[in-house]
Structures are given as structure tokens and as C-alpha cells.
């Protein structure tokens, strides 16, 4: 990683599905020293629901103008949500609006795409709804709006579109190409056969590293923003990979990262793709260095919220203390609280051995359930080494103890999440701030082996 030590402040353009923000981070500490936010609205007008790109652009420029005065910045990095591609005409303007990936296509279009998309063994990208597969978006635009699509001269991944607006340099980048787009072949480290099936290979912008400084802000734009000197713009990165990057910088593979929020997403860094099963919510992501990262997920955070609302609260200490009694009594929760995703699809939630137990015991059983769901995800991706847990579950001691016991591995809780903006700032070469992590947890819960066997037997019974 390069000359980031020369930077004092990094401006990060961070566009999420719901909200967008521009942040200035201190290069030495990684802390946010200035931030402005806006909603990311979807326009429900013809030809299909699409993002309000010009409103976002105005927001970005106005934010950079303000930050150029104070606190100042000397590099720009970019991170955005995935599942978006931008189609430019020969003049560099939008040939078609940037499609909202939640838009559902007509059944005939979906069926036609399903017949043309590559096999999972080629892309390690499962078939997802709407436009979550970027290939499905391009197929939809191409097949339903052929005259407009004929004007397309360049196709860009979403973070790189904003870099193009700032620098005039068109690029694609692998973290966005490799997040369930159907367009990337992780094994060959190149485009999949779908690019030729769709006839778009010549339209795809050159692939550049996320760490590349594409160029300075264009002079007229720099003057408008009020930049006193040339400011480099880095290529940019997909948001999940922005969050993963600090772990890659700081730790030696193999290890696993369990990122918790609404979704519990497990990354098997240094793992292989041999165990992935598209029917069990697994896929490959591509990290900032171009390496395939086996990934699996289930909606654990949402499930936990639902269960706590039903069961009621209990003190963390009493929940942790109840783990051994729950194992001895055989109280268990089987998947799924929220259906339709995760390692055991098609299952409906069921309690085993639930009588008049108190909230602490029920929540202990929930912690064991979440731990075994996480273990199933880690097994599916062939994860090895220590397990880093970030997000809200890093504060859930009963879950951490249960996960350490059921996997037999060291579990390291990271109570503070680095976030997408901090991860994107690392593209400039700065070092991540030293994470405040807890001591590794290793645990042995008596009777857990038999409990785990009974849990899996109940699933298959």
C-alpha cells in the first residue's frame, strides 16, 4: 500500500441503498471529523424505477465544496452498494437511467435470463430476485429497450461511475464485478461467459485495482469545488468489501469474519469455493485484492429482534449463566424464524422441549441457535482459523461463548465496527486504526456435543 502517509484527511463518498453520505476522515486515527447525509431516493418514473443520479451528484459536489473550506481533504475515495451498473453513451452521459435493483421484471424476461445465465460453478453467484444479479439488469435493459441500449458505449460498476464523474476516467473494479453479478468468473479471475452471451465485452470499461488513484479531480470541477491543488480520486470499492478490508490488512489468512446486523454474513478468508451450495445461501465475493472469498448468510439480526420482542428481556449475565442448564434440559430452537434464506431454507421455526421456561433460558437457547446457524454457515464456506465477530452480536456474550464452544475455535469480538467509509479510506494507503478488540474467547460447555447432535437430528427428522 502506497503513499497514504502523506494524506491528512480523506473524503469518502459513501452511497448506500437507503442513504448517502460524504465523510471526511482523519488519516491518522480513522475517525470521522465531518459528515453530511442525504436520502437516496428512487424515482418511480419511466422507463423503470431508477436512482436520482443528478440529485446525488449535486449533493456530493456541495458536500465537497463545504469540506474544501473546512476541514479540508487531500484525497477522495468511494464506496457504494452493489448490484448496480451504469450505462454511458459516447459522450459520457447516461444512455439509460441507473436501474433500481429492487425492480422486478416481467416473468418472460426473468425466464429468458434464467436460460442464459451461467451455471453457479462458473460464477459462484446464486440466482437472486429482481436486479440483484447485475447481469439480469443488463439483460432486461437490452431486451426491453433495444433502441436506447444501442447507444451504450461504456458500462461501469457503480463506485467507478462516481470516480468517472470526478476524473473523466472510466474503470471497472472486481469487488463490484464479483458481488453476485453473474458477470465474473472467480476461478479464471476474468469475465464470465455471460459477457459474451450478452455481447457486451467491448462495452466494459477496463478493470482497475480498487487501490489505483485513477487521476486528479478534473480541473473545471476542482475550481468549482474550490480545491487549491490536485486531489487524487481512488478507484473505489463495493461496500461489503470496504468493511472486510481492515481485517485483510491486519490479519493473516485463514480466518473468518462474521459481520452481524440485520444479516449475519460470514466470510471465509483464505477458504475455498468447493463447499458452496447455491441452494443454501452461499456465494463468492471478490475482495479488494481480487481474491475469491467464500461467503454465507442468514437473517440472524432480524431473527434476534423478533425473538426478543416475543420473549422479553433478561440481563446478559443471566442469559450466559443459563447456557449450561439449557443444554442439560435440551431446550432448543430450530430454524427458521425468518424463512426463505440461510443454510436451512424451507424450514419453519420450531421449539423443542419448551415448557414454562423463563426469559433467560429461552434467550440462552436463542444464543445457541444463532451460534449453530453461524457454525453451519462457516462449515458451508470451509472457514478455518479464528473467528472475528463484528457488529451488534460482538456485544452478545452468550452468543460469543456459544459460538466458541460449538466451533472449538477462538472467537474475537470487535465491539466497534470500522464501517464502510473507514474501509474505503484504506484504499489511499493509510493504515487502519488499531481496533479495540476483546481477548479471544475459548469455551467448553458441558453436554454441548450431544446437544448439537440432537439439534441436527431434529433438523433432519
Predicted TM-score (pTM) of this structure: 0.87
**Domain housing 54:** 4-235
Question: Which helix (H) or strand (E) is 105 found in, with range?
Answer: none
Are 205 and 269 contained in the same domain? no
Are 301 and 223 contained in the same domain? no
154 in Cβ contact with 171 (< 8 Å)? no
For the domain that residue 178 is a member of, what is the CATH number? 3.30.420.40
The answer to whether residue 110 scores a pLDDT higher than 80 is: yes
User: CB under 8 Å to 227, separation ≥6 — which residues?
Assistant: 68, 217
- Residue 236, pLDDT score: 98
Are 55 and 185 contained in the same domain? yes
Are 140 and 209 contained in the same domain? yes
| pLDDT one-digit tens code per residue, 347-371 | 999 999 876 789 999 999 999 999 9
CB-count exposure of residue 100 (10 Å: 0-12, 13-18, 19+): buried
- Taking residues 372-381, what's their average pLDDT? 96
Are 445 and 381 contained in the same domain? yes
Are 167 and 272 contained in the same domain? no
Are 149 and 262 contained in the same domain? no
State the helix-helix crossing angle for 448-460 and 359-380, rounded to 10 degrees.
70
| pLDDT one-digit tens code per residue, 152-180 | 999 999 999 999 999 999 999 999 999 99
Are 228 and 102 contained in the same domain? yes
d(CA 100, CA 191): 23
The answer to whether residue 77 scores a pLDDT higher than 90 is: yes
Closest CA relative to residue 87, chosen from 171, 203, 184: 203
Are 272 and 402 contained in the same domain? yes
Are 82 and 123 contained in the same domain? yes
Answer with the one of 209, 235, 261 that is the final residue of a domain.
235
The answer to whether residue 5 scores a pLDDT higher than 60 is: no
d(CA 49, CA 76): 29
Are 247 and 168 contained in the same domain? no
Q: How confident is the model at residue 128 (pLDDT cuts 50, 70, 90)?
A: confident
d(CA 400, CA 181): 33
Answer with the one of 235, 254, 284 that is the final residue of a domain.
235
Answer with the one of 206, 235, 264 that is the final residue of a domain.
235
Are 252 and 205 contained in the same domain? no
d(CA 299, CA 38): 27
Could you give the number of structural domains in the chain? 2
Amino acid at each position: 500500500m502506497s503513499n497514504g502517509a502523506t494524506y491528512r484527511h480523506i473524503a469518502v463518498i459513501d452511497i448506500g441503498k437507503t442513504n448517502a453520505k460524504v465523510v471526511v476522515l482523519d488519516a491518522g486515527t480513522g475517525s470521522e471529523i465531518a459528515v453530511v447525509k442525504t436520502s437516496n431516493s428512487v424515482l418511480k418514473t419511466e422507463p423503470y424505477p431508477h436512482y436520482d443520479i443528478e440529485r446525488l451528484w449535486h449533493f456530493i459536489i456541495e458536500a465537497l465544496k463545504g469540506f474544501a473550506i473546512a476541514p479540508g481533504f487531500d484525497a477522495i475515495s468511494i464506496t457504494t452498494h452493489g448490484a448496480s451498473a451504469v450505462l454511458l453513451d459516447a459522450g459520457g452521459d447516461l444512455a439509460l437511467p441507473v436501474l433500481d435493483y429492487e425492480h422486478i421484471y416481467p416473468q418472460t424476461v426473468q425466464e429468458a435470463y434464467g436460460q442464459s445465465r451461467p451455471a453457479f460453478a462458473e460464477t459462484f453467484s446464486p440466482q437472486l430476485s429482481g436486479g440483484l444479479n447485475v447481469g439480469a439488469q443488463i439483460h432486461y435493459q437490452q431486451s426491453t429497450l433495444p433502441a436506447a441500449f444501442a447507444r451504450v458505449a461504456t458500462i461501469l460498476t457503480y463506485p467507478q461511475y462516481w470516480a468517472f464523474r470526478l476524473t473523466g476516467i472510466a474503470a471497472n473494479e472486481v469487488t463490484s464485478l464479483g458481488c453476485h453479478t453473474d458477470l465474473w468468473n472467480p476461478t479464471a479471475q476474468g469475465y464470465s461467459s455471460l459477457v459474451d452471451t450478452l455481447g457486451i465485452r467491448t462495452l466494459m470499461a477496463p478493470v482497475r485495482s480498487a487501490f489505483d488513484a485513477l487521476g486528479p479531480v478534473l480541473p473545471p470541477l476542482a475550481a468549482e469545488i474550490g480545491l487549491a491543488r490536485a486531489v487524487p480520486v481512488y478507484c473505489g470499492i463495493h461496500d461489503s468489501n470496504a468493511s472486510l478490508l481492515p481485517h485483510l490488512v491486519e490479519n493473516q489468512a485463514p480466518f473468518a469474519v462474521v459481520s452481524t446486523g440485520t444479516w449475519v454474513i460470514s466470510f471465509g478468508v483464505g477458504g475455498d469455493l468447493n463447499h458452496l451450495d447455491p441452494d443454501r445461501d452461499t456465494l463468492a465475493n471478490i475482495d479488494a485484492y481480487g481474491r475469491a472469498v467464500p461467503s454465507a448468510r442468514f437473517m440472524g439480526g432480524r431473527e434476534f429482534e423478533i425473538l426478543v420482542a416475543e420473549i422479553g428481556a433478561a440481563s446478559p449475565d443471566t442469559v450466559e449463566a443459563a447456557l449450561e442448564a439449557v443444554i442439560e434440559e435440551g431446550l432448543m430452537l430450530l430454524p427458521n424464524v425468518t424463512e426463505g434464506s440461510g443454510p436451512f431454507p424451507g424450514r419453519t421455526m420450531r421449539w423443542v422441549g419448551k415448557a414454562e421456561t423463563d426469559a433467560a433460558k429461552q434467550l440462552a437457547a436463542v444464543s445457541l441457535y444463532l451460534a449453530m446457524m453461524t457454525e453451519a454457515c462457516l462449515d458451508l464456506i470451509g472457514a478455518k482459523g479464528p473467528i472475528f465477530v463484528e457488529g451488534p452480536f460482538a456485544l452478545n456474550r452468550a452468543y460469543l461463548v456459544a459460538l466458541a464452544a460449538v466451533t472449538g475455535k477462538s472467537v474475537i469480538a470487535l465491539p466497534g465496527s470500522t464501517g464502510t467509509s473507514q474501509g474505503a479510506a484504506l484504499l489511499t494507503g493509510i493504515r487502519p486504526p488499531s481496533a479495540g478488540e476483546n481477548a479471544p474467547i475459548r469455551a467448553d460447555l458441558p453436554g454441548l456435543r450431544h446437544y448439537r447432535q440432537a439439534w441436527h437430528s431434529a433438523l433432519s427428522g
